[in-house]
Structure 1
Amino acid sequence: MSDGSDDGMVLDIKTADIKASAPVFHEQANNLSKALTTLVTTLDNLGKPWGDDKQGKEFGDVYSPQQKKIESSAGILVLGLTSIHEALVDLSDGHVDNDDLIAGMFTKVKPPKGNADSEGSR
């Protein structure tokens, strides 16, 4: 956020940057979800493809008891990436709305014609 120079800027949020970042999280959530589905269905169909040799048994002894936890953790990551995507979309929308609101506060409003309080009737 800061390179050491004090330019007086506290936070510089660019809506375009937020909008550009949001789809990346959506895409990666989809990619991870597909990879998880492939892992689960492939291993379920193959049984124990790591074999009965020493390395295969060592891997199976460690992996098999943790398999459901690994799958669940990857699922949580998918949900996390999806949440970040949704939050960035909401943040972007809110930032634009806030900018419009603030701009409206500083826009000079002209009184309606014929109003006794207008400058033209003084």
Structure 2
Amino acid sequence: MGASPSGDDKVLDIKTADLKSAAPVFHEQSKHLSEALTTLVKTLDGLGKPWGEDDAGTKFEGFYSPQQKAIESATGTLVLGLVSIHEALTDMSDGHVDNDELIAGMFTKKGVAAGGEDGKGHK
């Protein structure tokens, strides 16, 4: 593996705190995008054809109507993508914590008191 672009020889520098702080942002934004999609669909469906029958309305309908389901589907896919990023960051954060604990366990004796194996300075 090569060095990082910053030249500090770090290949992978992931901080658990960064993962934990970023994950909720994706969750929150997925909710906002989902709410916007729901509002768009309900509003336009409830209004019928609010763009009217004039030239501008006919042009808009000609572009929008054939693409409406594709727009809704693509936006739904974006919502799912944001949710999956949130879940992946959460899982990655949990995995980092578990990995750190595993590595720490390799270099320490769990359950051994300070001062030796028997806690009295004897091995």
Q: State the TM-score, normalized to the length of structure 1.
A: 0.85
List structure 1 runs of 4+ shifted beyond 2 angstroms.
108-113
Q: Which amino acid aligns with 1:63?
A: Y
Cα RMSD, aligned residues only: 1.9
Aligned to 2:36: 35
Q: Which amino acid aligns with 1:89?
A: T
Do structure 1's residue 2 and structure 2's residue 5 form an aligned pair?
yes
Q: Which amino acid aligns with 1:35?
A: A
Aligned to 1:88: 89
The 5 A counterparts of 1:14-25 are 14-25=15-26
Whole-angstrom CA distance in 1 between matches of 2:122 and 2:75: 69
Aligned to 1:73: 74
Whole-angstrom CA distance in 1 between matches of 2:117 and 2:122: 11
Whole-angstrom CA distance in 1 between matches of 2:101 and 2:28: 30
Aligned to 1:116: none
CA drift at 1:112: 4.5
Whole-angstrom CA distance in 2 between matches of 1:120 and 1:68: 74
CA drift at 1:8: 2.1
Whole-angstrom CA distance in 2 between matches of 1:102 and 1:31: 39
Aligned to 2:57: 56
**Which structure has the higher relative contact order (CA within 8 Å, separation 6+)?**
1
Whole-angstrom CA distance in 2 between matches of 1:59 and 1:32: 23
Whole-angstrom CA distance in 2 between matches of 1:100 and 1:79: 31
Q: Which amino acid aligns with 1:54?
A: D
Aligned residue pairs total 114
Segments of 5+ residues of structure 2 without an aligned counterpart are none
Query: Comparing 103-112 with 85-94, which one deviates more in the overlay?
Result: 103-112
Whole-angstrom CA distance in 2 between matches of 1:69 and 1:96: 40
Identity within the alignment, %: 66
